[in-house]
Structure 1
């Protein structure tokens, strides 16, 4: 308050004062008194004038305004605090989103189809960028136990496969712990990784890679400058390691299962294809991208009469069940063929067998029996795609066959034989649907693509199959299994004859048939053909009987014609045993009566040469070539 009126009169010329006053009824009022002191010429106060005002309304208004201002200030403070909290929350959310983006960049879905080597290379570069470190190393547990370096970035001279005891020390220090290990001085005595010392590194963090509670490896990140890794850094590194461990385990599991599946699949395919003089063969199997066995298979079986059976099948579905069905069908097919049944009857019997295997077991099947010397044969189709034939001039066309049901659909399904004739130099290709079927195109488009690829493919069956696969599938693994089987008939001109046969009596009929066909092409008459075939058969029988013991072995027969003289060579690769029993050795006398005979024995085997001049050779100027 202002001073009292007494003081005002003595010290000031005017005064103002606000004060509260309580009435007898207890109410309070705000009053204001204002006045002025008038003085005479001697500055002595002579008059006091003033006014007394009731300012209660003004004071209440001021108090209300002050309250409003305080409330506004408090509200503004609360708003600013809320805004700061929102900014902090937004920053935290941005940090979480950034961290999530970093994690996703390390192990995004696009890495799922990489090999282990490619995955590690990609992961390490991403970890290096995300964590802003200089060196990243990944060690994985080897099958024998120790940790082995599998990949590294940012460091020279550290090759994959390093173990040298250092990682064993690291494995012992980590033990079963799942917490990261921080090392402030890599060159210090506390660093359990000797191969990182002397590399100019300072700070190091080692994080175990853990899958389902078991350590599978270790992630090591290091910097060349001293760096104190924050809790956020270590937490992010742990999350990265967890993601990496799962990604690596997934790829390792996929590669392991894929390898097992492929080995199982290939074990159900023929180890090799037979050697035919009148034709060349090639078979290719490529597994699908999924790590599971499939039901595609092919087979080639030589018949006693010299014909060859080409088999192509595709069991519906995939996995162990499909592979098991495929194996049983393949075995049953070989048994039925060995019993000498006709092609249609073989397929009908195989269909009944598929019915017996159980409900839902279904397979498409193609069976082609062909005489390589004449090119004539019989084709039976059971719901399979038609074989493709490329003529010697490159023209391509599909073999016509009556539509029929796949194996295992109906017990009384009918299957018919269709005549086939393959000209000299022509190729027939059997294949499964994985080669031409695509989700984004029709089956007709697939047929057209295959026909165009086959027309441009090399004539050699093996090279042709590879060309067709590259043209239709590229270098990527197909989505479904793919099997191809190609047979190309030899050209009409009688080139050099060569045939590699097992040392067993059953192979002689095949030899006689092939040699007769070749001799006929040289212009040999019936007598010359009969004599040379008999002499060669006798020499081959001697090689099978005397050159080897009771083991699997082979011998080779080759023949050429030059200046009208046929020369046939029968060569084995064993040591001849003495004749067993009496009345032996007549075979040599027979051979000498039919042809000019020379025999040459070495430590590497025996070579029997049979020669004879033809009366009317068809190609008297052919140069002599030995294969």
Structure 2
């Protein structure tokens, strides 16, 4: 019995095809949308099966994404190579194809002949000149598909392609934006002696690019600052950006200077991301914060603004971006003095590049806009003057760091968890703060022991394994340093016969040591006269 539909209802079928996507489907996700559309296509074209296979990210394979009547294709993750089999040939040629007889010789997917499908018709899914995938329908019995069926199927496919691209673009933008937001630091680390602020603004087009920044410390006490831009847009660029950020953290652990870390990143990209190019500015600050070691991989130089002075671009050679060329490159590291009160501003090119403004003009405007001061004010001023109400289709990342002056550092509070992992952070903070308030090397060495012992005691005795709040208050006087270490736990009695040696050492290395226990916790008061100060 014939299953073809007569010409008397052809107009009705055409009307239904033209309405295959409507506003009632607007709330559906991509897979749900496709499943509903395939049900309608099956009904209109009197087919037993309908399947959409979408091109994967590499453009080499078709992946079964939605199906009606042969749902096993999706559940089993059917993958067809472009150019191979029925769907693969349609994708490669971007032309419709009809099979009057399905067999292992004509299709690559065994599910089709195992299902008993006798005839197939398929068309490419194309939107805006981009191949999205293939839509094919099948019949288990009845007449093969006609040229009129194929015309209607292509009409339906055009609407399916437009709806899929729009929905997928929306989903990818949301996913890329969420990924980028999750990877940008939710809160910049608190670095004693350094003030930090940042801004990130997505482009007006709504498509996220690969702009990112990162700030982290190493076990050695060095501070690392990275900012970069992966060439490209959308979810792919955001995904590569996430891998790049993670890779840079890994390379930083085992790299002696920024150029070494960027050389490793270059090899990583050329091997694992061969189609990727990225610019990166990577700086390592000495624990004292007095000097910054900087290397640029195709990235614009940061702006340096001394306290009360004129801002200028850092004089640093710009090496090629990572991912360029096929051979390792010799990269450069420049050591830059950062005096107290100076501000360093890192940024991505979206801040200074505009179609209506030469790059040099944008850089001049940026230099004129940066004046050393509170970093929040610096970021706000820069964004107001260089962005204002001027739309840009590129993302913008800005990161400002200012080295605080000794006067600003006379008093500092550190709030940490009383767990062993916090002890290295406390030592790093002391190594930065003590020299800034006039402590000598001997002072620093002794106070690291005294304060470290007080904090270690709190970690061991005040709380259980989960820790609790620990506050370290640092105060610098004219010729002395006072440190208060306070917890709110209930101290356990020391274990072992040889305990108490730490307290004895603390007394020897400080000029005054006083321990207070009360129902609210324990407070350790430490006073150390700095070298050169008069005896009390």
How far, CA to CA, are the matches of 1:344 and 1:521 in structure 2? 28
The answer to whether the 8 A contact 1:277-1:498 is kept is no
Equivalent-residue separation in structure 1 for 2:290 and 2:236 (angstroms): 37
Quote the residue 2:384 is aligned against.
Answer: 470
- Residues 331 and 525 of structure 1: CA distance in aligned 2, closer, same or farther (over 3 Å): closer
Equivalent position of 2:206 in the other structure: 291
Name the CA shift for 1:531/1:324 in 2 (closer, same or farther; >3 Å): same
Give the C-alpha shift of residue 502 in structure 1. 5.2
Distance 1:475 1:602 in 2: 58
Contact 2:192–2:432, Cα closer than 8 Å, also in 1 = no
Q: Report the CA distance between 1:399 and its aligned residue.
A: 1.1
Structure 2 counterpart of 1:8: none
Superposed CA offset, 1:158-203 (max 9, x none): xxxxxxxxxxxxxxxxxxxxxxxxxxxxxxxxxxxxxxxxxxxxxx
Query: Which residue, out of 417, 421, 439, partners 2:337?
Result: 421
Superposition deviation, residue 306 in structure 1: 1.8
- Shift, 1:353, TM fit: 0.7
Q: Is the 8 A contact 2:341 2:402 kept in 1?
A: yes
- In the alignment, which residue of structure 1 is the partner of 2:449? 534
| Structure 2 residue 530 is the aligned partner of structure 1 residue 611 | no
Report matched runs for 1:56-95 at 5 Å.
none
d(CA) in 2 for partners of 1:288 and 1:552? Answer: 43
Q: Secondary structure at the match of 1:545?
A: helix
Question: What's the counterpart of residue 257 of structure 2?
Answer: 342
Matched, 1:399 2:314: yes
User: Does residue 481 of structure 1 match 2:402?
Assistant: no
- Bigger mean CA deviation after superposition, 256-265 or 475-484: 256-265
Determine helix, strand or coil for the equivalent of 1:322. helix
2:238 to 312, 323, 328: 323
Residue of structure 1 in register with 2:370 after alignment: 454
Deviation, 1:495, is: 2.1
Return 596-605 or 333-342, whichever deviates more: 596-605
Aligned-pair CA distance for 1:558: 1.9
- How far is 1:291 from its partner? 2.8
Structure 1: runs of 5+ lacking an equivalent: 1-139, 142-249, 621-627
- Is contact 1:523-1:617 (8 Å) kept? no
SS of alignment partner, residue 304 of structure 1: coil
Determine which of 209, 220, 227 is the counterpart of 1:312. 227
Could you tell me how far 1:479 is from its partner in structure 2?
2.1
Distance 1:561 1:471 in 2: 39
Residue of 232, 257, 275 corresponding to 2:190: 275
Tell me: CA distance 1:569–1:361, structure 2 relative to 1, closer, same or farther (3 Å). same
2:298 aligns with one of 383, 389, 412: 383
Go from structure 1 to structure 2 and tell me whether the alpha carbon gap of 1:602 and 1:352 turns closer, same or farther (over 3 Å shift).
farther
Calculate the TM-score normalised by the size of structure 1: 0.54
Indicate whether 1:436 and 2:352 are aligned: yes
2-side partners of 1:580 and 1:337: how far apart? 40
Q: Tell me, in whole angstroms, the C-alpha distance in 1 between the residues paired with 2:391 and 2:174.
A: 14
Q: Is the 8 A contact 1:287 1:477 kept in 2?
A: no
| Aligned counterparts of 1:347 and 1:548: Cα–Cα separation in 2 | 42
> What does 1:169-188 align with in structure 2 at a 5 Å threshold?
none
- The change in CA–CA distance for 1:557 and 1:461 in structure 2 (over 3 A counts) is same
The alpha-carbon deviation at position 580 of structure 1 amounts to 5.2
CA distance in 2 between counterparts of 1:492 and 1:361 reads 44
Partner of 1:20: none
Radius of gyration: which is bigger? 1
Q: Secondary structure at the match of 2:232?
A: coil
Counterpart position of 2:505: 590
CA deviations 1:555-611 (Å, max 9, x no partner) are 332221346443111233555455455533432332233332233456665332112
Q: CA-to-partner distance for each residue in 1:514-573, whole Å, 9 max, x for gaps?
A: 435544454555554433332111112223333444447663322213464431112335
Q: Equivalents in 2 of 1:464, 1:378: separation in Å?
A: 22
Shift in CA distance, 588/471, structure 1 to aligned 2, threshold 3 Å: same
1:412 counterpart residue number = 328
Report how far residue 278 of structure 1 moved.
Answer: 1.7
Number of aligned residue pairs: give it: 372
Q: How does 1:43-122 map to 2 (within 5 A)?
A: none
**Structure 2, gaps ≥5 residues long:** 1-25, 28-164
Q: How far apart, in 1, do the equivalents of 2:527 and 2:304 lie?
A: 38
Query: Deviation digits for residues 222-256 of structure 1, max 9, x if unmatched?
Result: xxxxxxxxxxxxxxxxxxxxxxxxxxxx9999998
TM-score (norm 2): 0.62
User: C-alpha distance in 1, partners of 2:352/2:468?
Assistant: 40
Name the SS for the 1:415 alignment partner: coil
Q: What's the CA shift string for 1:357-383, capped at 9, x where partnerless?
A: 333211001110112525213111100
Aligned-partner Cα distance in 2 for 1:262–1:354: 23
- Residue 365 (1) aligns with residue 288 (2): no
Contact 1:258 1:291 in 2 (8 A): yes
**Deviating more after overlay: 402-411 vs 496-505:** 496-505
Q: Deviations over 1:371-407 (max 9, x none)?
A: 2525213111100011111111141011122232111
Q: Distance in 1 between matches of 2:172 and 2:308?
A: 44
Task: List per-residue Cα deviations over 1:326-347 (Å, max 9, x = no partner).
Answer: 1111111111112244321111
If asked which structure has higher relative contact order (CA below 8 Å, sep 6+), I would say 2
Q: Are the equivalent residues in 2 in contact too, given 1:508–1:537 (CA < 8 A)?
A: yes
**d(CA) in 2 for partners of 1:512, 1:297:** 29
Query: Is the alpha carbon distance of 1:602 and 1:262 closer, same or farther for their aligned partners in structure 2, counting shifts above 3 Å?
Result: farther
Cα distance between partner residues in 2 of 1:553 and 1:318: 43
**Matched-pair contact (CA < 8 Å) for 2:197–2:400:** yes
1:144-183 mapped onto 2 (5 Å cutoff)? none
